[in-house]
Amino acid sequence: MSGNRAVAYIEPGVVEVQDIDYPTFELKDGPGVNPANVGRKLPHAAILKVLTTNICGSDQHMVRGRTTAPPNLILGHEITGEVVETGPDVEFIKVGDVVSVPFNISCGRCRNCKERKTGICLNVNPDRPGSAYGYVDMGGWVGGQAEYALVPYADWNLLKFPDADQAMEKIMDLTMLSDIFPTGYHGAVTAGVRTGSTVYIAGAGPVGLAAAAGAQLLGAAVVIVGDLNEDRLAQARSFGCETVDVSKGDPKDQIEQILGVPEVDCGVDAVGFEARGHGHGAGQEAPATVLNSLMDITAAGGALGIPGLYVTGDPGGIDEAAKVGSLSLSLGTGWAKSLSFTTGQCPVMKYNRDLMMAILNDKVQIAKAVNATAIRLDDAPQAYREFDSGAARKYVIDPHGVTGANAN
Protein backbone atom coordinates (compact mmCIF):
# COMPACT_ATOMS: atom_id res chain seq x y z
CA MET A 1 0.00 0.00 0.00
CA SER A 2 1.45 3.37 -0.94
CA GLY A 3 -1.30 6.03 -1.21
CA ASN A 4 -2.40 8.52 1.39
CA ARG A 5 -4.25 11.85 1.42
CA ALA A 6 -4.33 14.45 4.17
CA VAL A 7 -5.38 17.97 5.13
CA ALA A 8 -2.54 20.51 5.04
CA TYR A 9 -2.23 24.08 6.31
CA ILE A 10 -1.09 26.30 3.42
CA GLU A 11 -1.33 29.90 4.64
CA PRO A 12 -3.63 31.92 6.89
CA GLY A 13 -7.20 31.02 6.00
CA VAL A 14 -6.24 28.27 3.55
CA VAL A 15 -6.09 24.50 3.94
CA GLU A 16 -6.12 21.89 1.18
CA VAL A 17 -6.23 18.14 0.74
CA GLN A 18 -2.90 16.82 -0.51
CA ASP A 19 -1.38 13.53 -1.56
CA ILE A 20 1.23 12.56 1.01
CA ASP A 21 3.40 9.54 1.75
CA TYR A 22 1.95 6.44 3.34
CA PRO A 23 3.38 6.09 6.87
CA THR A 24 6.56 4.14 7.52
CA PHE A 25 8.28 3.11 10.73
CA GLU A 26 10.70 6.02 10.57
CA LEU A 27 10.08 9.73 11.15
CA LYS A 28 11.03 11.55 7.95
CA ASP A 29 11.83 15.16 7.28
CA GLY A 30 8.92 17.43 6.42
CA PRO A 31 7.10 20.65 7.36
CA GLY A 32 7.54 21.33 11.06
CA VAL A 33 9.60 18.22 11.80
CA ASN A 34 12.27 18.92 14.39
CA PRO A 35 15.66 18.13 12.79
CA ALA A 36 16.59 16.08 15.83
CA ASN A 37 13.61 13.81 15.14
CA VAL A 38 14.45 13.14 11.48
CA GLY A 39 15.39 9.52 10.95
CA ARG A 40 13.98 8.43 14.29
CA LYS A 41 13.24 4.68 14.12
CA LEU A 42 9.78 3.62 15.23
CA PRO A 43 9.64 -0.17 15.67
CA HIS A 44 7.19 0.41 18.51
CA ALA A 45 4.64 2.15 16.24
CA ALA A 46 1.40 1.11 14.58
CA ILE A 47 -0.12 2.30 11.32
CA LEU A 48 -3.83 3.08 11.48
CA LYS A 49 -6.54 3.30 8.88
CA VAL A 50 -8.15 6.51 10.12
CA LEU A 51 -11.84 5.96 10.80
CA THR A 52 -12.59 9.41 12.18
CA THR A 53 -10.45 12.48 12.80
CA ASN A 54 -11.88 15.70 14.15
CA ILE A 55 -11.29 19.39 13.43
CA CYS A 56 -10.25 21.10 16.67
CA GLY A 57 -10.26 24.71 17.75
CA SER A 58 -6.52 24.33 18.30
CA ASP A 59 -6.17 23.52 14.59
CA GLN A 60 -8.16 26.66 13.85
CA HIS A 61 -5.64 28.82 15.72
CA MET A 62 -2.98 27.64 13.26
CA VAL A 63 -5.22 28.04 10.23
CA ARG A 64 -5.99 31.62 11.23
CA GLY A 65 -2.27 32.34 11.15
CA ARG A 66 -2.07 32.83 14.90
CA THR A 67 0.91 30.52 15.38
CA THR A 68 4.26 29.92 13.72
CA ALA A 69 2.99 26.83 11.87
CA PRO A 70 4.87 26.30 8.57
CA PRO A 71 3.15 25.87 5.18
CA ASN A 72 2.17 22.31 4.25
CA LEU A 73 2.01 21.15 7.86
CA ILE A 74 -0.34 18.13 7.95
CA LEU A 75 -3.06 18.87 10.47
CA GLY A 76 -4.98 16.78 12.93
CA HIS A 77 -4.46 15.43 16.44
CA GLU A 78 -7.86 13.86 17.14
CA ILE A 79 -7.63 10.34 15.71
CA THR A 80 -9.66 7.14 15.97
CA GLY A 81 -8.66 4.24 13.76
CA GLU A 82 -8.24 0.59 12.91
CA VAL A 83 -4.78 -0.95 13.22
CA VAL A 84 -3.56 -2.18 9.82
CA GLU A 85 0.15 -2.76 10.54
CA THR A 86 2.39 -2.96 13.59
CA GLY A 87 6.12 -2.56 14.07
CA PRO A 88 8.29 -5.47 15.25
CA ASP A 89 8.38 -4.20 18.85
CA VAL A 90 4.60 -3.97 19.25
CA GLU A 91 3.50 -6.81 21.51
CA PHE A 92 -0.12 -6.32 22.63
CA ILE A 93 -1.90 -4.19 20.01
CA LYS A 94 -3.00 -6.32 17.05
CA VAL A 95 -4.02 -5.74 13.44
CA GLY A 96 -7.78 -5.24 13.35
CA ASP A 97 -8.03 -3.52 16.74
CA VAL A 98 -10.22 -0.41 16.76
CA VAL A 99 -8.53 2.21 18.91
CA SER A 100 -8.56 5.76 20.21
CA VAL A 101 -5.37 7.82 19.96
CA PRO A 102 -4.66 10.33 22.75
CA PHE A 103 -3.60 13.59 21.13
CA ASN A 104 -0.63 13.75 23.51
CA ILE A 105 2.25 11.70 22.15
CA SER A 106 4.04 10.07 25.05
CA CYS A 107 6.70 7.42 25.50
CA GLY A 108 5.47 5.66 28.64
CA ARG A 109 9.06 5.45 29.88
CA CYS A 110 10.04 8.86 31.24
CA ARG A 111 9.41 10.20 34.74
CA ASN A 112 6.46 12.33 33.67
CA CYS A 113 4.72 9.50 31.82
CA LYS A 114 5.16 7.22 34.83
CA GLU A 115 3.50 9.93 36.94
CA ARG A 116 0.55 10.09 34.44
CA LYS A 117 1.69 13.50 33.17
CA THR A 118 1.51 12.37 29.54
CA GLY A 119 0.93 15.90 28.25
CA ILE A 120 4.53 16.75 29.13
CA CYS A 121 6.43 13.62 28.05
CA LEU A 122 10.16 14.24 28.11
CA ASN A 123 11.20 12.04 25.19
CA VAL A 124 9.06 12.81 22.13
CA ASN A 125 9.79 16.47 21.42
CA PRO A 126 13.43 17.63 21.36
CA ASP A 127 12.43 21.27 21.96
CA ARG A 128 10.43 20.98 25.17
CA PRO A 129 8.23 18.60 27.17
CA GLY A 130 5.01 17.59 25.41
CA SER A 131 4.06 16.66 21.89
CA ALA A 132 1.05 16.17 19.62
CA TYR A 133 0.26 15.05 16.10
CA GLY A 134 0.08 17.69 13.38
CA TYR A 135 0.80 20.65 15.62
CA VAL A 136 3.27 23.51 15.49
CA ASP A 137 6.43 23.16 17.60
CA MET A 138 5.34 19.75 18.87
CA GLY A 139 8.16 17.70 17.38
CA GLY A 140 6.87 17.35 13.85
CA TRP A 141 4.80 14.17 14.16
CA VAL A 142 2.58 13.91 11.08
CA GLY A 143 -1.05 14.87 11.63
CA GLY A 144 -4.00 12.53 11.54
CA GLN A 145 -6.48 14.36 9.28
CA ALA A 146 -5.54 11.74 6.73
CA GLU A 147 -6.48 8.36 5.36
CA TYR A 148 -3.65 6.66 7.27
CA ALA A 149 -1.63 7.74 10.30
CA LEU A 150 1.30 6.51 12.37
CA VAL A 151 1.17 6.21 16.18
CA PRO A 152 4.47 5.71 18.07
CA TYR A 153 4.71 3.65 21.26
CA ALA A 154 1.52 1.91 20.20
CA ASP A 155 1.20 -0.50 23.13
CA TRP A 156 1.33 2.47 25.48
CA ASN A 157 -0.57 5.14 23.56
CA LEU A 158 -3.49 3.29 22.02
CA LEU A 159 -6.76 2.74 23.87
CA LYS A 160 -8.29 -0.44 22.45
CA PHE A 161 -12.07 -0.61 22.38
CA PRO A 162 -13.27 -3.89 23.90
CA ASP A 163 -15.59 -4.75 21.01
CA ALA A 164 -14.97 -3.47 17.49
CA ASP A 165 -18.60 -3.78 16.34
CA GLN A 166 -19.89 -1.93 19.40
CA ALA A 167 -17.24 0.74 18.83
CA MET A 168 -18.40 1.31 15.27
CA GLU A 169 -21.99 1.73 16.49
CA LYS A 170 -20.84 4.50 18.83
CA ILE A 171 -18.02 5.87 16.70
CA MET A 172 -19.33 9.46 16.72
CA ASP A 173 -19.17 9.49 20.52
CA LEU A 174 -15.93 7.53 20.85
CA THR A 175 -14.10 9.81 18.42
CA MET A 176 -14.32 12.53 21.09
CA LEU A 177 -12.03 10.50 23.40
CA SER A 178 -8.89 11.54 21.53
CA ASP A 179 -9.08 15.12 22.80
CA ILE A 180 -12.10 17.26 23.49
CA PHE A 181 -14.03 15.04 25.90
CA PRO A 182 -11.03 14.34 28.16
CA THR A 183 -9.88 17.94 27.74
CA GLY A 184 -13.24 19.40 28.73
CA TYR A 185 -13.58 16.88 31.54
CA HIS A 186 -10.07 17.73 32.74
CA GLY A 187 -11.12 21.38 32.88
CA ALA A 188 -14.05 20.46 35.08
CA VAL A 189 -12.02 18.11 37.30
CA THR A 190 -9.23 20.63 37.86
CA ALA A 191 -11.82 23.31 38.62
CA GLY A 192 -13.01 21.09 41.47
CA VAL A 193 -16.43 20.21 40.10
CA ARG A 194 -18.25 17.68 42.28
CA THR A 195 -21.79 16.75 43.29
CA GLY A 196 -23.79 19.93 43.87
CA SER A 197 -21.27 22.38 42.37
CA THR A 198 -22.22 25.51 40.49
CA VAL A 199 -19.97 25.93 37.46
CA TYR A 200 -19.31 28.69 34.94
CA ILE A 201 -17.71 27.62 31.66
CA ALA A 202 -16.35 30.37 29.44
CA GLY A 203 -16.78 29.36 25.79
CA ALA A 204 -19.47 27.32 24.05
CA GLY A 205 -17.25 25.84 21.38
CA PRO A 206 -16.74 22.07 21.32
CA VAL A 207 -14.32 22.02 24.28
CA GLY A 208 -16.62 24.23 26.34
CA LEU A 209 -19.59 22.01 25.54
CA ALA A 210 -17.51 18.94 26.40
CA ALA A 211 -16.56 20.61 29.69
CA ALA A 212 -20.26 21.22 30.36
CA ALA A 213 -21.11 17.58 29.66
CA GLY A 214 -18.20 16.56 31.87
CA ALA A 215 -19.38 18.81 34.69
CA GLN A 216 -22.82 17.22 34.48
CA LEU A 217 -21.23 13.76 34.60
CA LEU A 218 -19.36 14.82 37.74
CA GLY A 219 -22.63 15.82 39.41
CA ALA A 220 -22.73 19.61 39.08
CA ALA A 221 -26.01 21.12 40.25
CA VAL A 222 -25.93 24.02 37.77
CA VAL A 223 -23.73 24.41 34.68
CA ILE A 224 -23.65 27.89 33.15
CA VAL A 225 -21.99 28.43 29.76
CA GLY A 226 -20.98 31.86 28.48
CA ASP A 227 -20.33 32.90 24.88
CA LEU A 228 -20.98 35.58 22.24
CA ASN A 229 -22.46 33.16 19.71
CA GLU A 230 -26.20 32.51 20.11
CA ASP A 231 -26.14 29.31 18.05
CA ARG A 232 -23.49 27.86 20.33
CA LEU A 233 -25.39 28.99 23.42
CA ALA A 234 -28.49 27.28 22.06
CA GLN A 235 -26.45 24.10 21.68
CA ALA A 236 -25.48 24.36 25.37
CA ARG A 237 -29.11 24.78 26.37
CA SER A 238 -30.07 21.71 24.33
CA PHE A 239 -28.60 19.41 27.00
CA GLY A 240 -29.62 21.28 30.12
CA CYS A 241 -27.11 24.09 30.60
CA GLU A 242 -27.93 27.63 31.62
CA THR A 243 -26.35 30.28 29.40
CA VAL A 244 -24.88 33.77 29.56
CA ASP A 245 -24.53 36.04 26.54
CA VAL A 246 -21.37 37.96 27.37
CA SER A 247 -22.10 40.55 24.67
CA LYS A 248 -24.80 41.83 27.04
CA GLY A 249 -22.39 42.74 29.80
CA ASP A 250 -20.51 41.38 32.77
CA PRO A 251 -21.21 37.65 33.29
CA LYS A 252 -21.50 38.35 37.03
CA ASP A 253 -24.86 40.12 36.66
CA GLN A 254 -26.37 37.33 34.55
CA ILE A 255 -25.00 34.67 36.89
CA GLU A 256 -26.72 36.42 39.79
CA GLN A 257 -30.01 36.29 37.89
CA ILE A 258 -29.60 32.52 37.52
CA LEU A 259 -28.20 31.57 40.94
CA GLY A 260 -29.26 34.43 43.19
CA VAL A 261 -25.60 35.17 43.94
CA PRO A 262 -22.98 36.70 41.60
CA GLU A 263 -20.46 33.88 41.88
CA VAL A 264 -19.92 30.20 41.18
CA ASP A 265 -18.01 27.47 42.95
CA CYS A 266 -15.89 26.52 39.94
CA GLY A 267 -14.69 28.18 36.72
CA VAL A 268 -13.45 26.74 33.42
CA ASP A 269 -11.67 28.66 30.62
CA ALA A 270 -12.47 26.89 27.35
CA VAL A 271 -11.60 29.91 25.19
CA GLY A 272 -7.86 30.55 25.36
CA PHE A 273 -5.69 33.26 23.91
CA GLU A 274 -8.07 34.56 21.21
CA ALA A 275 -10.63 35.66 23.80
CA ARG A 276 -12.99 38.54 23.04
CA GLY A 277 -14.17 41.32 25.32
CA HIS A 278 -17.48 41.39 27.18
CA GLY A 279 -20.28 43.95 27.01
CA HIS A 280 -19.26 47.07 25.08
CA GLY A 281 -15.98 45.38 24.17
CA ALA A 282 -17.67 42.31 22.75
CA GLY A 283 -16.12 41.21 19.50
CA GLN A 284 -12.82 42.98 20.14
CA GLU A 285 -9.88 40.78 21.03
CA ALA A 286 -8.90 41.03 24.67
CA PRO A 287 -6.88 37.94 25.53
CA ALA A 288 -6.91 38.29 29.33
CA THR A 289 -10.67 38.92 29.54
CA VAL A 290 -11.75 35.37 30.29
CA LEU A 291 -9.13 34.66 32.94
CA ASN A 292 -9.76 37.95 34.76
CA SER A 293 -13.52 37.43 34.57
CA LEU A 294 -13.22 33.91 35.97
CA MET A 295 -11.13 35.14 38.88
CA ASP A 296 -13.80 37.73 39.58
CA ILE A 297 -16.78 35.35 39.55
CA THR A 298 -15.26 32.26 41.19
CA ALA A 299 -15.86 32.05 44.92
CA ALA A 300 -12.94 32.52 47.30
CA GLY A 301 -11.08 29.27 47.81
CA GLY A 302 -12.28 27.93 44.45
CA ALA A 303 -10.34 26.77 41.43
CA LEU A 304 -10.00 27.49 37.72
CA GLY A 305 -9.51 24.76 35.15
CA ILE A 306 -7.83 26.22 32.05
CA PRO A 307 -7.98 23.81 29.10
CA GLY A 308 -8.19 26.78 26.71
CA LEU A 309 -4.99 27.09 24.65
CA TYR A 310 -2.37 29.76 25.41
CA VAL A 311 0.80 30.07 23.32
CA THR A 312 4.26 31.58 23.57
CA GLY A 313 4.29 32.74 19.96
CA ASP A 314 1.31 34.57 18.40
CA PRO A 315 2.15 36.59 15.25
CA GLY A 316 -1.36 38.08 15.28
CA GLY A 317 -1.32 39.21 18.91
CA ILE A 318 -2.91 42.58 19.62
CA ASP A 319 0.30 44.01 21.10
CA GLU A 320 3.94 43.09 21.55
CA ALA A 321 3.29 41.43 24.91
CA ALA A 322 0.48 39.26 23.52
CA LYS A 323 2.72 38.15 20.66
CA VAL A 324 4.91 36.33 23.17
CA GLY A 325 2.08 35.11 25.40
CA SER A 326 2.31 37.81 28.07
CA LEU A 327 -1.12 38.89 29.31
CA SER A 328 -2.33 41.55 31.77
CA LEU A 329 -3.72 39.28 34.45
CA SER A 330 -5.22 40.45 37.73
CA LEU A 331 -3.11 37.99 39.68
CA GLY A 332 -3.74 40.02 42.81
CA THR A 333 -7.40 39.06 42.60
CA GLY A 334 -6.50 35.40 42.35
CA TRP A 335 -4.10 35.68 45.27
CA ALA A 336 -6.51 37.58 47.48
CA LYS A 337 -9.23 34.98 46.87
CA SER A 338 -6.86 31.99 47.30
CA LEU A 339 -7.80 30.63 43.89
CA SER A 340 -6.07 27.61 42.37
CA PHE A 341 -5.17 27.39 38.66
CA THR A 342 -4.46 24.38 36.45
CA THR A 343 -3.19 24.98 32.92
CA GLY A 344 -1.58 22.98 30.13
CA GLN A 345 -2.38 20.03 27.91
CA CYS A 346 -4.89 17.56 29.26
CA PRO A 347 -3.20 14.23 30.10
CA VAL A 348 -5.72 12.30 28.00
CA MET A 349 -4.69 8.85 29.24
CA LYS A 350 -5.67 9.85 32.77
CA TYR A 351 -9.33 9.96 31.72
CA ASN A 352 -9.96 8.24 28.39
CA ARG A 353 -10.71 4.73 29.59
CA ASP A 354 -13.21 5.90 32.21
CA LEU A 355 -14.93 8.17 29.71
CA MET A 356 -14.98 5.32 27.17
CA MET A 357 -16.86 3.19 29.72
CA ALA A 358 -19.31 6.02 30.34
CA ILE A 359 -19.99 6.24 26.58
CA LEU A 360 -20.28 2.48 26.05
CA ASN A 361 -22.70 2.19 28.94
CA ASP A 362 -24.88 5.12 27.85
CA LYS A 363 -24.03 7.44 30.74
CA VAL A 364 -23.25 10.35 28.43
CA GLN A 365 -24.04 11.37 24.84
CA ILE A 366 -21.06 13.53 24.01
CA ALA A 367 -21.58 13.54 20.21
CA LYS A 368 -25.05 15.00 20.68
CA ALA A 369 -23.79 17.55 23.20
CA VAL A 370 -21.18 18.95 20.79
CA ASN A 371 -23.37 18.52 17.68
CA ALA A 372 -20.95 16.15 15.96
CA THR A 373 -21.23 16.32 12.15
CA ALA A 374 -19.51 13.81 9.86
CA ILE A 375 -17.93 15.06 6.62
CA ARG A 376 -15.77 13.68 3.83
CA LEU A 377 -12.04 14.32 3.75
CA ASP A 378 -12.53 16.49 0.66
CA ASP A 379 -15.02 18.63 2.58
CA ALA A 380 -12.45 19.62 5.21
CA PRO A 381 -11.51 23.01 3.70
CA GLN A 382 -15.16 24.09 3.69
CA ALA A 383 -15.64 22.78 7.22
CA TYR A 384 -12.67 24.83 8.43
CA ARG A 385 -14.30 27.94 6.96
CA GLU A 386 -17.65 27.18 8.57
CA PHE A 387 -16.05 26.42 11.93
CA ASP A 388 -14.10 29.68 11.77
CA SER A 389 -17.35 31.57 11.18
CA GLY A 390 -18.76 30.17 14.43
CA ALA A 391 -20.76 27.14 13.30
CA ALA A 392 -22.17 25.34 16.33
CA ARG A 393 -20.80 21.98 15.21
CA LYS A 394 -17.95 19.60 15.89
CA TYR A 395 -16.73 18.49 12.47
CA VAL A 396 -15.71 14.83 12.24
CA ILE A 397 -13.72 13.93 9.11
CA ASP A 398 -14.53 10.43 7.84
CA PRO A 399 -11.86 9.53 5.24
CA HIS A 400 -13.24 6.07 4.42
CA GLY A 401 -17.00 6.53 4.67
CA VAL A 402 -17.54 4.49 7.85
CA THR A 403 -20.23 6.91 9.10
CA GLY A 404 -21.91 7.28 5.72
CA ALA A 405 -20.40 10.74 5.18
CA ASN A 406 -19.03 9.78 1.75
CA ALA A 407 -22.57 9.20 0.54
CA ASN A 408 -23.42 12.88 0.97
Mean pLDDT of the chain: 95
**40-44, 171-175, 304-308, 318-322: the lowest-pLDDT one:** 318-322
Q: At 358, which CATH number?
A: 3.90.180.10
Residue 69's nearest CA partner among 137, 14, 17, 143 is 137
pLDDT per position as a tens digit, 51-66: 999 999 999 999 999 9
Same domain membership, residue 200 and residue 138: no
Q: Sorting pLDDT into bands at 50, 70 and 90, what band is 406?
A: low
Please report which confidence band the pLDDT of residue 283 belongs to, taking 50, 70 and 90 as the band edges. Answer: confident
pLDDT: which is higher, 373 or 313? 373
Number of domains into which the chain is organized: 2
Q: Which residue stretches of 49-114 are H helix?
A: 57-63, 111-114
Q: Are residues 29 and 173 in the same domain?
A: yes
Residue 408 pLDDT > 80: no
Mean per-residue pLDDT for 118-125?
96
Which of the listed residues 342, 362, 391 is the one where a domain comes to its end? 342
Q: 280 is in which domain, residue-wise?
A: 183-342
For position 363, what pLDDT does the model report? 97
- Is residue 164 scored above 50 in pLDDT? yes
Residue at a domain's end among 342, 373, 393: 342
> Which CATH number is 241's domain given?
3.40.50.720
**The pLDDT value given to residue 356:** 98
Strand-pair category, 73-74 with 79-86: unpaired
Residue 179 reports pLDDT greater than 90: yes
pLDDT of residue 142: 96
Are 55 and 170 within one domain? yes
| Residue 121: how many other CB atoms lie within 10 Å | 25
Q: Which residues pair with 199 in a beta bridge?
A: 223, 266
Same domain, 85 and 123: yes
Find the mean pLDDT for residues 352-359: 98
Distance from C-alpha of 251 to C-alpha of 246, rounded to nearest angstrom:
6
Are 260 and 154 part of one and the same domain?
no
Burial of 274 (0-12, 13-18, 19+ CB in 10 A): buried
Give me the pLDDT at residue 133, please. 97
Query: What is the spatial distance between Cα 374 and Cα 145, in angstroms, rounded to a whole number?
Result: 13
| Torsion, Cα of 31, 152, 387, 7 (10° steps) | 50
* Helical ranges in 120-163 per DSSP H: 154-157
Domain co-membership, 93 together with 55: yes
Same domain, 77 and 119: yes
Shared-domain flag, residues 167 and 187: no
Please tell me the predicted confidence (pLDDT) of residue 307. Answer: 95
Of the residues 319, 342, 365, the one at which a domain ends: 342
User: What pLDDT band is residue 2 in, cutting at 50, 70 and 90?
Assistant: low
Classify the phi-psi angles of 140: left when phi > 0, otherwise alpha if psi is within -120 to 50, otherwise beta: left
Q: Per mean pLDDT, which range of 89-98, 171-180, 258-267, 307-316 is the poorest?
A: 307-316
Q: Is it the case that residue 357 has pLDDT exceeding 80?
A: yes
Q: Give yes or no: residues 301 and 246 share one domain.
A: yes
Q: State which amino acid sits at residue 225.
A: V
Task: Using alpha carbons, select from 377, 360, 378, 359 the residue that is nearest to residue 369.
Answer: 359
On whether both 162 and 294 belong to a single domain, the answer is no
Q: Is the pLDDT of residue 404 over 60?
A: yes
Q: Are residues 65 and 116 in the same domain?
A: yes
Same domain, 67 and 204: no
- Arithmetic mean of pLDDT, 375-380: 97
